[in-house]
Chain A
Amino acid sequence: MTNIATTINLAYVVAAALFILGLKLLSHPSTARKGNMISALGMLVAVVVTLLDRDIISYHYIVLGVVIGGAYGAWKARSVQMTQMPEMVSLFNGFGGAASLLLGWSTVSAMTPFAINASGNFVFITVLFTLLVGGVTFSGSVIAWGKLSGKLSSKAVIFTGLRELSILHLVGMAVVGYLFVTDPANPLWLYIAIALGLSFGLWATISIGGADMPVVIALLNSYSGIAASAAGLAVGNTILIVTGLLVGASGLILTNIMCKAMNRSLMNVLLSGFSKPVEAGEAITGEIKVLSAQDSFYVLEAAQAVLVVPGYGMAVAQAQHAVRELQTLLEENGCTVDYAIHPVAGRMPGHMNVLLAEADVPYDQLHEMDDVNPRMENYDVVIVIGANDVVNPAAKEMKGSPIYGMPVIEAYRAKTVFVLKRSANAGFAGVDNPLFFKDNTRMVLGDAKETINSIIREFGDD
């Protein structure tokens, strides 16, 4: 190896160590910000040292690309609202996939016919893998972004022949893949491989409903890393291989957590389990008891321990700041306030935590489902805001329910449950919620933000 090549590779080792250290510091909120900066430093080292590469003879286009991309990225990072984080992550998954796809393509387009003949199959197999995974990631992420941002209908698009179409795609990928690897000089196979990757991502994502999007984003997050890693194998760059796989592992772990939290397998999510008709469960008996905001104030004023269970509805109503204000008033009144966050609350993993952090709720008051369930009886009042399925006792009680077996926050075991909701309809998944009919449940109907604000006003008048 030449001196320059050795320097570059040594710097890559340092960069990899910084990435790993950065991720390690992400294991606690107090060190996470430092971890992110260390990771960014690792990226800086890797990028700067790569510019020493002797193959690089012109910096014009590099500067052009970095300036355009960097400016857009910086603008997006500053302007995005925290409620829009799922869309942004989804879009960035797509950019990552597309970048890897283009890099894989450029590996082949840069080769002279002589170089193509001299290269072994391994290069073309990894290029093929990059094109397919990159393509699926890009088109899938664009669809997910469209569904999350409301530009597309969030309903699952199901049509007959969807399954056959998917199988046909997989067979097509195998055939075209074989042709590409055996005859890499013919660009036709490369174009068809890209087209198949793109269209597969389209069909696979469009048939998944909005409620399952947390799983889809986590999976596409993983794919974007795997695509980067495959591109690294194709160009023989170790830092790409290592860091791409760190991202791939991260996405897979999150996907697994999401699936467990819904008691469904990944296949079931990808093949849209909820679309199947469900046999009617036992009828729910009892009646809904409605409570006014004013009366709920009297109950809260007397409460010693309150648990807040937020869902996506809280984000829609932009109620998190009002919730924070209520928390302060309750705490001044001598009451403890905790938050319980279900793994699939919101539209992406950890979404609720970020929204509450933005509203200045300290992170040590945010608890996971398994921490609060054992001490549920100790809470005088559980306030459910814009959440439904994650507190649905049908998951425990009704064998016929589509969500039977899903782990839930067992709010119904608390002394009193307030459900803040627009109306008493079923939730996003269209599943009836027996919680609304329990003896200890009171429905506080109306816009969640207005309801909380009127409770806050009662505190002020008092």
Chain B
Amino acid sequence: METIYLLFIVLLAAMLGFELIRKVPATLHTPLMSGSNAISGVTLVGALVASGSDNNLLTTILGTAAVALASINVVGGYLVTDRMLGMFKKKDKK
């Protein structure tokens, strides 16, 4: 039964994603992609458990490497997106 719940989540999240992203204007597509990099770093959440749990050595190594890679995406992705979005300015009214 739990599998069915998970598939429900998959379906709803995918449809929500399509509706949300369709509204992003073309001018913001590069920040959207770097922001997506950051969001896909959510793997970090799963990796934290793999890295910090009482596991065998291989699992700890794999988990820690995943934590490091996902952290690059989260930190780098959000910072560079913020840097870019800070550049977008409206025309000054003279």
- Which residues of chain A have a CB within 8 Å of any CB of chain B? 19-20, 22-24, 26-30, 32-33, 36-37, 39-40, 43, 46-47, 50-51, 53, 55-59, 61-62, 64-66, 68-70, 72-74, 76-78, 80, 82, 85, 88-89, 92-93, 95-96, 98-100, 102-103, 105-107, 109-110, 122, 217-218, 221, 224-225, 227-229, 231-233, 235-254, 257, 341, 343, 348-351, 353-354, 357-358, 360, 362-366, 368
Contacts and interface: CB of A to CB of B under 8 A. Distances in A.
- Please classify the interface of chain A as helix (H, G, I), strand (E, B), loop, or mixed, using the class held by over half of its residues: helix
A130 to B, nearest CB: 10
Contacts of B38: 39-40, 43
Given A20-B16, A65-B64, A77-B83, A96 B70 contact: yes
B51 A61 contact: yes
B72 to A, nearest CB: 4
Which of A55, A98, A103, A360 has the most C-beta atoms of chain B within 10 angstroms of its own C-beta?
A103
Interface in B28-74: 28-56, 58-60, 62-74
Contact of B56 (A47, A88, A110, A218): A110
B81 A36 contact: yes
Contact of B33 (A70, A221, A241): A221
Given A62-B64, A103-B46, A246-B16, 19 more contacts: A22-B35, A26-B24, A27-B25, A29-B28, A36-B31, A36-B35, A39-B39, A57-B53, A85-B30, A89-B33, A102-B69, A103-B63, A228-B43, A235-B46, A235-B49, A240-B46, A341-B27, A350-B27, A353-B28
B27 to A, nearest CB: 4
A351 B80 contact: no
A73 B74 contact: yes
Interface in B1-34: 2-3, 6, 9-10, 13-14, 16-18, 20-34
B76 A77 contact: yes
B14 A249 contact: yes
A348 B16 contact: no
Given A74-B75, A102-B65, A250 B45 contact: no
Contacts of A89: 30, 33-34, 37
Contact of A92 (B37, B49, B58): B37
Contacts of A366: 27
Given A221-B37, A246-B20, A362-B91, A99 B52 contact: no
A301 B13 CA distance: 54
Nearest to B83: A77
Contact of A109 (B18, B30, B59): B59
A224 B77 CA distance: 13
A363 B89 contact: yes
B45 A23 contact: no
Given A36-B82, A53-B48, A366-B27, A69 B33 contact: no
A95 B49 CA distance: 19
A225 B73 CA distance: 12
